[in-house]
């Protein structure tokens, strides 16, 4: 496909993920933005809901229907869970669909039904190209499931140690703190400013958060051993960003040099995954607005655990940046087109 002729629609353009997809697409050299759609906000101007998207301010949000989405080369779905299947079924294979929702991420129907409580729609190539084996399946794909934000950073943080056989995948612990935009724009009582400001809280505790099985699915592809993860999300009073602390027991005799070598090797050729120099620690600010994942690895000698800290922008590499990266792979464009490794700081 010619770079300057990719016609793209975004469903859920009034939301956080859809807005971020549009922000990134405005910086993509090959894209022409077609339909932008919403639910209850259909009929409103995009500028009234997403004032930062200045070049699109006069666009009117259309209703989300198959007819509106058809006729584009690429459709991004940034809709609530459970909404994607109807469009996936009705849009032909001539349209590339990139789903930011969860509907097609999990391969096991029983696991899906346990955590989402609805019938399983199916599974599509999983949009985390940096995990071994995934990139080939994404190249030229017509349907792609964009990962969840916590699984993106947690899987990338733990994968090299597990793939290299340096850590025990049966005892993984992930505690990850997220900004509030991870929960979406729709008003929620626990996200009111007065509840969130000046406080950090845990939620989804005790193995009930739906991103636990997504992390297990990703890491299980790297080892023959059983993967178990204890995943605890935290909510912190900032708009964007995730900082994940991921730990696992090391195999006897593993040194910090072994660990660093595994991480350096795994991500040496990856444009968006950066192992920081020794002594530097990831921080959400440094990845704000960028498609980067920052990682640092340490060995806790007394506990005999590897500790990996990862930072990601939940709306960029955690959703919309990954979605654009996947579009590039699907269309055979250079993978980093329109995406930046440069954050906004301070
Ligand atoms: N926020 C994040 O960090 C991440 C989000 N995602 C996924 O992206 C998707 C969107 O999330 P997010 O942007 O945060 O959510 P928001 O609540 O911010 O946005 C939801 C969007 O969907 C639209 N919508 C809601 N209901 C319907 C409907 N019945 N039919 C058509 N459109 C509808 C809304 O339109 P209206 O304004 O009219 O209500 C809005 O545009 C979700 O599946 C989420 O899981 C994935 C990874 C991270
Ligand atoms: C802070 C916050 O609430 N975060 C969201 C995860 C956002 C995400 O990755 O979304 P999906 O998997 O739903 O696509 C949550 O924990 O539900």
Calculate how far, in angstroms, residue 90's C-alpha sits from the geometric centre of ligand 2: 27
Is 90 a member of any domain?
yes
Query: Looking at residues 137-157, what average pLDDT do you find?
Result: 98
Ligand 1 pocket, 41 CB below 6 A? yes
Ligand 2 atom nearest the C-alpha of 209 is 16
Residues 120 and 257 in one domain: no
Residues 115 and 173 in one domain: no
**pLDDT reading at 276 higher than 60:** yes
For 234-274, give the DSSP string. Answer: EE-SSSS-EEEEEEEEBPTT--HHHHHHHHHHHHTT-SSEE
Ligand 1 pocket, 337 CB below 6 A? no
Residues 182 and 87 in one domain: no
Is 189 a member of any domain?
yes
Ligand 1 pocket, 79 CB below 6 A? yes
| C-alpha count within 13 angstroms, C-beta hemisphere, residue 66 | 10
**Catalytic residue numbers, as ranges:** 149
Residues 202 and 140 in one domain: no
Of the listed ligands, the closest to the CA of 240 is: 1
Share of the chain above pLDDT 70, in %: 99
Q: What is the biggest distance separating any 2 CA atoms in the chain, rounded to whole angstroms?
A: 63
Cα(276)–Cα(141) distance, rounded to whole angstroms? 32
The sign one gets for the Cα dihedral 114, 118, 123, 129 is: negative
Residues 124 and 162 in one domain: no
- 29-58 burial: b if 16+ Cβ within 10 Å, else e: ebbebbbbbbbebbeeebbebbeebeebee
Ligand 1 pocket, 191 CB below 6 A? no
Cα(211)–Cα(151) distance, rounded to whole angstroms? 6
- Which pLDDT value is given to residue 1? 53
Is 345 a member of any domain?
no
Ligand 2 atom nearest the C-alpha of 81 is 13
- Which pLDDT value is given to residue 195? 85
Residues 308 and 191 in one domain: yes
Confidence of residue 176 (pLDDT cuts 50, 70, 90): very high
Is 338 a member of any domain?
no
pLDDT in tens, 181-228: 999 998 777 888 888 899 999 999 999 999 999 999 999 999 999 999
Q: Is the peptide bond before 201 cis (omega within 30 degrees of 0)?
A: no
**pLDDT reading at 335 higher than 60:** yes
Is 346 a member of any domain?
no
Angle at which helix 211-220 crosses helix 109-116, to 10 degrees, equals: 160
Calculate how far, in angstroms, residue 149's C-alpha sits from the geometric centre of ligand 2: 7
Residues 121 and 166 in one domain: no
* Domain count along the chain: 2
Query: Looking at residues 298-318, what average pLDDT do you find?
Result: 98
Q: Hey, which bits of 1-147 come out as E strands?
A: 6-11, 31-38, 62-63, 74-77, 96-99, 143-145
Residues 80 and 175 in one domain: no
Residues 61 and 164 in one domain: no
Is 112 a member of any domain?
yes
**Residue with CA closest to ligand 2 atom 4:** 182
Share of the chain above pLDDT 90, in %: 95
- Which pLDDT value is given to residue 190? 80
Query: Residue 61: which CATH number?
Result: 3.40.50.720
Confidence of residue 286 (pLDDT cuts 50, 70, 90): very high
Query: Looking at residues 135-154, what average pLDDT do you find?
Result: 98
Ligand 2 atom nearest the C-alpha of 180 is 1
pLDDT in tens, 222-275: 999 999 999 999 999 999 999 999 999 999 999 999 999 999 999 999 999 999
Query: Residue 231: which CATH number?
Result: 3.30.360.10
**Residue with CA closest to ligand 2 atom 3:** 183
Q: By the 8 A CB rule, do 134 and 190 touch? A: no
Q: In degrees rounded to 5, what are phi and psi of residue 32?
A: -115, 125
Is 343 a member of any domain?
no
**pLDDT reading at 2 higher than 60:** no
Cα 214 to chain centroid distance, Å, stands at 11
Is 60 a member of any domain?
yes
**Residue with CA closest to ligand 1 atom 19:** 15
Cα(49)–Cα(56) distance, rounded to whole angstroms? 11
**pLDDT reading at 17 higher than 70:** yes
Pocket of ligand 2 (CB under 6 A): 101-102, 148-150, 178, 182-183, 233, 235
- Per-residue tokens: 255: 């040194």
Residues 52 and 71 in one domain: yes
SS3 230: strand
- Which pLDDT value is given to residue 189? 77
**Residue with CA closest to ligand 1 atom 14:** 184
Residues 255 and 116 in one domain: no
- Per-residue tokens: 143: 């349907």
* Boundaries of domain holding 229: 150-314
Residues 120 and 238 in one domain: no
Q: Which of 101, 99, 100, 117 is nearest to 109 (CA)?
A: 117
């Amino acid at each position: 496909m010619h770079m300057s002729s990719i016609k793209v629609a975004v469903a859920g353009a009034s939301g956080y993920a859809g807005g971020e997809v549009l922000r990134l697409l405005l910086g993509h050299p090959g894209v022409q933005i077609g339909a932008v759609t919403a639910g209850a906000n259909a009929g409103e101007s995009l500028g009234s809901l997403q004032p930062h998207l200045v070049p699109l301010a006069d666009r009117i949000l259309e209703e989300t229907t198959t007819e509106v989405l058809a006729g584009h080369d690429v459709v991004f779905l940034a809709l609530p869970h459970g909404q994607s299947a109807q469009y996936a079924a009705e849009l032909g294979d001539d349209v590339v669909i990139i789903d930011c929702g969860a509907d097609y991420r999990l391969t096991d129907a029983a696991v899906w039904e346990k955590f989402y409580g609805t019938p399983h729609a199916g599974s599509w190539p999983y949009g985390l190209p940096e995990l071994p084996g995934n990139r080939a399946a994404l190249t030229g794909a017509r349907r792609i499931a964009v990962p969840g934000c916590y699984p993106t950073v947690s899987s990338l943080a733990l994968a090299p140690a597990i793939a290299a056989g340096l850590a025990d995948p049966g005892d993984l612990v992930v505690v990850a703190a997220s900004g509030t935009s991870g929960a979406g724009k729709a008003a929620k009582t626990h996200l009111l400013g007065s509840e969130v400001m000046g406080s950090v809280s845990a939620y989804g505790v005790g193995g009930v958060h739906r991103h636990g099985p997504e992390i297990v699915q990703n890491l299980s592809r790297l080892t023959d051993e059983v993967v178990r993860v204890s995943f605890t999300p935290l909510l912190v009073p900032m708009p964007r960003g995730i900082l994940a602390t991921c730990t696992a027991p090391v195999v006897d005799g593993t040194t910090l040099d072994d660990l660093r070598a595994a991480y350096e090797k795994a991500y040496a050729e990856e444009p968006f995954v950066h192992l920081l120099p020794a002594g530097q620690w990831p921080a959400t600010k440094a990845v704000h607005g960028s498609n980067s994942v920052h990682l640092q690895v340490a060995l806790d000698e007394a506990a005999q655990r590897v500790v990996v800290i990862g930072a990601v922008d939940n709306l960029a590499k955690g959703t919309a940046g990954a979605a654009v990266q996947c579009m590039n792979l699907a269309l055979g464009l250079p993978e980093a087109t329109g995406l930046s490794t440069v954050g906004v700081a301070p």
